[in-house]
Amino acid sequence: MTETLISPAFQTTPDFAGLLGRLRAHVPAHCILSKVEDTKPYECDGLSLYRAVPPVVILPENEAQVVAVLQACKAFNIPVVARGAGTGLSGGAMPHTQGILLGLSKLNQIRKIDPDTATAIVEPGVRNLAISEAAAPYGLYYAPDPSSQIACTIGGNIAENSGGVHCLKYGLTVHNVLRVRVVTIDGDVVELGSEAPDSPGLDLLAAFIGSEGMLGLVTEVTVKLIPTPACARVIMASFPSVESAGAAVANVIAAGIIPAGLEMMDKRAVHMVEPFVNAGYDLDADALLLCESDGTEQEVEHEIARMEAVFRAAGASRLQVSSSEQERLAFWAGRKNAFPAAGRISPDYYCMDGTIPRRHLARVLNAIEEMEDEFGLRCANVFHAGDGNLHPLILFDSNKPGEVERAEKFGAAILELCVQVGGTITGEHGVGIEKINQMCVQFSRQELDFFLAFKRAFDPYCLLNPEKVVPTLARCAEYGKMHVHAGEIRFPDLPRF
């Protein structure tokens, strides 16, 4: 994999000795890692294309220690990169070579499950799936379910605004979080949102969710829980082409049906997954749709019949409805294990994350197939078809000269195609370092100025996860997507990268 060294944004040599001397009064010694053999495991997140070994890793055990760390980093002008479980896929948790990595995995307590208000109060290091497991005895669960839910944490989900296979009906993280407790770079503790239906003032909670650790660090979260459906069934629909499958997706929504989940996999993805999971997928199909209905028995029966009619009219070659809860889970297991399945057939894979209007699904998938010839690499497509969130898996071998670079260019071309058809460069994985150049494609100079101004309102020192997410105009000019005249760059004191 390539080793990425970020150009220094902070001109003075960091005083780590002074920082650690101050922190030892507040943070236990076993929570501070500074030996290379201890810090190297934190060099990247799930996107291993970009790596940087952090000089120091700090693993606080409570909010007071988080406050002390941020106050010290501000005093010594040292950058801070927050990290949860490290399952992110955009390089958002890649360390800064002149900063500390602040891991929040030890803040992992479920403080309260309240069945009366259908809420849970948790710390940021709690695993996504653990919330549903704790709420299950009360007949409740937490709806957002990214494929990494067995490992990813709620703090990371908030940073990236994660979704999952059921986000079409139940929404992304932003729709399921009521309140967050946040520590700013000044060490101030603030609460955004409310357990009430609304809170006064600007909706800073929505702005904070998806901000990728640039504005503050979460220490407590209140999430919504919803009742576990009495019944849920999945249709596996086979189609002879991606065009007919794409049309079926649009027709389901046009019919006024909002499935609990609506996922699509192309033929390569199906053949990649089936030997790994044995989900019972149709290997003869050029595209598969998984469409779930949940609710009461009567509601599900009625909705399944409507979905089947839509799929038949769109040209489905085969329909199979799950006959048991075990089979339903098997269907979803195949989709959720697409990423590890890719690891069985390719030494490396690069998972992209763009979002497009549903009507362009077939056009974009066909264009990706043409790009396979252009870049000389294979690509398997799995995605949240209901909301147009694509996850192309570019397969490559980093041991072969030039394949890493071709994979990066392939991914950039997919993202820029998403923008071209009216979509966006990310749906739930975030921008991080991976997509920072494509931010120059998606947004104007004025929009980027606004994003930088918003960050400065929370972090005027540019210490929280710097050099990611929002590109400077100088970077956009270097990428060739924006012309910048002398004297026209706002915020000249911000680091240039």
Predicted local confidence at residue 198, as pLDDT: 81
Say how many CA atoms lie within 13 Å of 112 toward its Cβ. Answer: 12
Predicted local confidence at residue 10, as pLDDT: 56
Q: Where in the chain is the domain with CATH 3.40.462.10?
A: 229-434
Pick the CATH number of 16-103 from 3.40.50.10800, 3.30.43.10, 1.10.3720.10, 3.30.1330.10: 3.30.43.10
Q: Are the C-beta atoms of 398 and 50 separated by less than 8 Å?
A: no
Helix axes 267-277, 338-345, angle to 10 degrees: 90
Q: Where in the chain is the domain with CATH 3.30.43.10?
A: 16-103
Topology (CATH level 3) of domain 110-227: 3.30.465
Across 442-460, average pLDDT: 94
Statement: residue 486 has pLDDT above 70: no
Predicted local confidence at residue 474, as pLDDT: 83
Tell which residue, 153, 83, 150, 70, has the closest CA to residue 461. Answer: 70
Of 412 and 339, the one with more pLDDT: 412
Cβ burial, residue 93 (10 Å; 0-12/13-18/19+):
buried
Q: Where are the beta strands (DSSP E) in 231-284?
A: 231-239, 261-266
Give the Å distances, CA to CA, from 272 to 268, 372, 380, 398: 6, 17, 8, 20
With b for 16 or more beta-carbon neighbours within 10 A and e for fewer, the 390-412 pattern comes to: bbbbbbbeeeeeebbebbbebbb
Identify the bridge partners of residue 318 per DSSP, sorted by sequence position.
Answer: 238
Q: What is the pLDDT of residues 304-361, one digit of tens each?
A: 999 999 999 999 999 999 999 999 999 999 999 998 999 999 999 999 999 999 999 9
* Distance in angstroms (rounded) separating the CA atoms of residues 312 and 288: 13
Tokens 């923008």 found at: 419
Q: What is the pLDDT of residues 247-306, one digit of tens each?
A: 999 999 999 999 999 999 999 999 999 999 999 999 999 999 999 999 999 999 999 999
* Distance in angstroms (rounded) separating the CA atoms of residues 263 and 356: 14
**3 state SS of 63:** helix
Q: What is the pLDDT of residues 90-140, one digit of tens each?
A: 999 999 999 999 999 999 999 999 999 999 999 999 999 999 999 999 999
Predicted local confidence at residue 286, as pLDDT: 97
* Distance in angstroms (rounded) separating the CA atoms of residues 81 and 466: 8
Across 426-453, average pLDDT: 94
Give Dmax (Cα) for the chain. 70
pLDDT band, very low/low/confident/very high, at 482 (cuts 50, 70, 90)? low
pLDDT band, very low/low/confident/very high, at 4 (cuts 50, 70, 90)? very low
Q: What is the pLDDT of residues 167-220, one digit of tens each?
A: 999 999 999 999 999 999 999 999 999 988 888 889 999 999 999 999 999 999
Q: Give Cα 385 to chain centroid, integer Å.
A: 16
Across 470-489, average pLDDT: 70
Q: Where in the chain is the domain with CATH 3.30.465.10?
A: 110-227
Statement: residue 5 has pLDDT above 70: no
* Distance in angstroms (rounded) separating the CA atoms of residues 229 and 325: 12
Predicted local confidence at residue 393, as pLDDT: 96
- What is the DSSP track for 195-255? SSS--SSS-HHHHHTT-TTSS-EEEEEEEE-EEPPSEEEEEEEEESSHHHHHHHHHHHHHT
Tell which residue, 313, 322, 179, 156, has the closest CA to residue 248. Answer: 313
* Distance in angstroms (rounded) separating the CA atoms of residues 304 and 300: 6
Predicted local confidence at residue 252, as pLDDT: 97
Predicted local confidence at residue 216, as pLDDT: 98
Kindly report the number of other CB atoms within 10 A of residue 339's CB atom: 17
Predicted local confidence at residue 489, as pLDDT: 45
Topology (CATH level 3) of domain 229-434: Vanillyl-alcohol Oxidase; Chain A, domain 3 (3.40.462)
Predicted local confidence at residue 477, as pLDDT: 86
Token reading at 471: 């590109």
Q: Are the C-beta atoms of 385 and 262 separated by less than 8 Å?
A: yes
Q: What is the pLDDT of residues 74-92, one digit of tens each?
A: 999 999 999 999 999 999 9
Cβ-Cβ contacts under 8 Å for 178 (sequence gap 6 or more): 119, 193, 194, 195, 222, 223, 224
**3 state SS of 170:** helix
